[in-house]
Structure 1
Amino acid sequence: MDPILPKALKRGDKIAFVSPSARLNDILPIPLARGKTYLESLGFQVQIIFSKETTATITESIRVRCDEIHAAFRDDTIAAIICTIGGEHANELLPFLDYSLIRSNPKIFVGYSDTTFLHYAIQARTGLRTFYGPSVLTDFSDFPKPMQFTVDHFLRVLNEAGTSVGPLPRSPICSKEHSDFLFGHETLDKPRETTDSPSWRWLRGGQATGHLYGGTVTCVVRLQGTPYAPVSWKNKILFLESSMGDDIQLPYSVSKFRNNLVDLALCGILHEIRGLIIGRGYKYDTSMQDELANVINEVFNVVVGRSLEEQLPILMNVDFGHTSPLLTLPINALVRLDCDLDEFSVVEPSVRA
């Protein structure tokens, strides 16, 4: 598909909230309203698209969720769509989305985690650039307000047309926790604790330019072999991040991440990519970061067989994924990794005028 850049987001534009995976609107009305109020305070209009129809069966659920996404793309007054949260079942929608409708009505589409499936499908079937970035309930609904780093980069990437995004910033602080209300606690107005962010870390040096593609590592693995995955990864820089563990209050184990990397190696992906970027791990302490770094190096050295002399920059602990604050990443945009300059840059505009 020829690439399509959505129009830049301007003050006064309307943003739609959709819930293509987890359906928490009625369960978390106060945080949802807080996210809506915050975006309105920035000068945007907000419309929540959420049907009260039954979703008791898989068939009903797929129809309702697709109808909501279609309504958001069909509405000419809506400039951007943000997912309320991720979840587990966005993959069910892929065969049933109206890709002709989406291609004919291109607009900004933002989300992460399980939304990885929708990013791949929309890119593959329409060419529309989408954005791996903040969700409403995990980011814009923070108390007393969202982390400024998240907001600033969201606006930087989506507001400014015609100029390259440039080097991506890094936050000096981060939160190792999601908000309490996401874990079923009744506390809705507790600020998240923050700590110093781990430094960005180059596991391999060099320079590389390619198109940015990736997502939550489990989703990326599951998409391989489907018609929604890229045919070739030769011109790609891959970005990966991990979700929570089996217990959502625990980190995703390094052992499972290792299995995922080997699966991607067996698919041939890690033999083709020009570079790799790893997001800051959810609740990863220094020991887990070191363990993952060792795993990545061994997988590339032994399983993939790409020597240290090869120009294959690998950067980890970058500000995206199941973490806060986070960057807004334009999927399939041209990016550059440069270890010598200590930079990860988007070298083209992410939106159009």
Structure 2
Amino acid sequence: MNRKQFLQNSAIIGGISLINTNSLFATPKKSQSKIRKLKPKPLLEGNKIGLVSPASYIDKSELNDSIENLSALRFNVFYTDKVLSKHGYLAGTDKERADDLNEMFRNKEIDAIVCTRGGYGCARILDFLDYKAIKDNPKILIGYSDITALLFAVYSQTGLISFHGPVGISTFNNFSIDSFVNVLMYGKNRYIAPLAEDDAFNPDPAYEPFTINSGKAKGILVGGNLSIAVSMIGTKYDVDYKNKILFFEEVGEEPYRIDRMLTQLIVSGKLKSAAGIVLGVFKNCERKRNNPSFEKTFGLKEVLLDRLGGLEIPVFYGMSFGHVTNKITIPFGIEAEIDADNLSLTFLESAVNV
């Protein structure tokens, strides 16, 4: 073959390669407007709950606490040896944690999955999850804090309704249990999420509810921990905020860091098309130092009013969820309504397939 013929053939082969790469084998981008809502079955007394540790590790006493909390609600508890694995600050390697969660979904004897704790690490396992198995075996998945990453990924990839609520080591008091039972077991078509009356007497200003923007709005509920939600931006696991009711909570972040996260949501355009926002308790998020290091800095309430007050959607602060003792269970992906003036959040459909 002479040089001229070789170059001609190479060009043809290169063209075919280009077509294959960019057209024939391209994976179409999934439109989130076409996500089909998938509801898990409700919990029943005697159901078997699988415990997993997809983020930071727990010790034996924390595992026992998780078992006692769920057993007290008359559930049977199942777990593998991976639940106590340790790998640095993680509960095992990424593969071990992902495999454990995948197997809980595949296991036909497991009725629901409860995360033992949050911490850090869920984002690291998102690429290793078997979303087909999750979609084919829809089950309740519940947790909060770092578990937010799982809630985003499961919804965006499968449409499965998951739940922002207690983890295994949470305090299961009467308030939290009442919400847990109403949402996961009774599956009410209309449920007004309560504000914890005990919190009204808490001297910590973080527990004081207030309206940021007046009004009512309806939309699909999505959200969780603020910093984790912000970290989803730019990934394939993020969700579309258009016409959504957003719910956010945070812990241990100073006001300037809250400012940074909310500003990221604003300048990325994520909040422009949202229907409304309900904020939980931002615990331990008041300024501890003058950060940034100027003589005067903003407090938490000032930041929230400044960053969210200009949005033309209803917004209120202080709903009973987050890193707090009294926490409601919030379905990720169902229709809901907020009334910012009356500080209320109402679920407009059952979150489970009753």
With normalisation by structure 2, the TM-score equals 0.81
C-alpha deviation, 1:340, in angstroms: 4.7
Q: Is the 8 A contact 1:4 1:106 kept in 2?
A: yes
- Structure 1 match to 2:344: 343
Residue 276 (1) aligns with residue 310 (2)? no
2:144 and 2:211 mapped to 1: Cα distance? Answer: 24
1:8 is aligned, of 23, 27, 42, to 42
Identity of aligned residues (%): 30
How far apart, in 2, do the equivalents of 1:91 and 1:286 lie? 28
- Measure the CA separation in 2 of the matches of 1:84 and 1:234: 32
Alignment counterpart, residue 156 of structure 1, candidates 182, 189, 196:
182
Range that drifts further, 68-77 or 36-45: 36-45
How far has the Cα of 1:285 moved from its partner?
Answer: 6.8
The aligned amino acid for 2:257 is K
The DSSP-based 3-state class of the residue aligned with 2:277 is strand
Residues 281, 53 of structure 1: alpha-carbon distance in 2 compared, 3 angstrom cutoff = closer
Listed one character per residue, the Cα deviations across residues 62-104 of structure 1 (whole Å, up to 9, x for unaligned) are: 1110111011111111111110001111111011111001110
Matching residue of 1:136: 168
- After superposition, where does 1:28-39 map in structure 2 within 5 Å? 29-39=60-70
Contact residue 103 and residue 126 of structure 1 kept, 8 A? yes
- What are structure 2's unaligned runs of at least 5 residues? 1-34, 290-297
RMSD, aligned α-carbons: 2.5
Q: Specify the SS of the correspondent of 1:173.
A: helix
- AA matched with 2:152: Y
Residues 286 and 154 from structure 1, CA distance in 2 versus in 1: closer, same or farther, beyond 3 angstroms? farther
Change over 3 Å in CA distance of 1:31–1:196 after alignment to 2: farther
Larger Rg: 2
Pick aligned residue for 1:103 from 132, 135, 155:
135
Contact 2:308 2:315 in 1 (8 A): no
2:57 and 2:86 in contact (8 A); partners too:
no
CA contact (8 A) 2:180 2:329 kept: yes
CA contact (8 A) 2:316 2:343 kept: no
Q: 2:216 — aligned with what?
A: 207
| Equivalent in the alignment of 2:300 | 292
The 3-state SS of whatever aligns with 1:280 is: strand
Q: Distance in 1 between matches of 2:286 and 2:227?
A: 21
1:169 to 194, 198, 205: 194
Partner of 1:21: 55
Q: What is the one-letter code of the residue matched to 2:195?
A: R
8 Å Cα contact 1:109-1:131 kept in structure 2: yes
Q: Does the aligned pair in 2 maintain the 1:55–1:64 contact within 8 Å?
A: no
Pair 1:31–1:65, CA change in 2 (3 A): closer
Flag structure 1 segments of 5+ consecutive residues without an equivalent: 176-193, 245-251
Matched AA of 2:42: A
Q: In 2, distance between residues paired with 1:155 and 1:165?
A: 14
2:73 to 16, 38, 42: 42
SS at match of 1:242: strand
2:251 is the alignment partner of 1:243: yes
Check the 8 A contact 2:285/2:300 in 1, yes or no: no
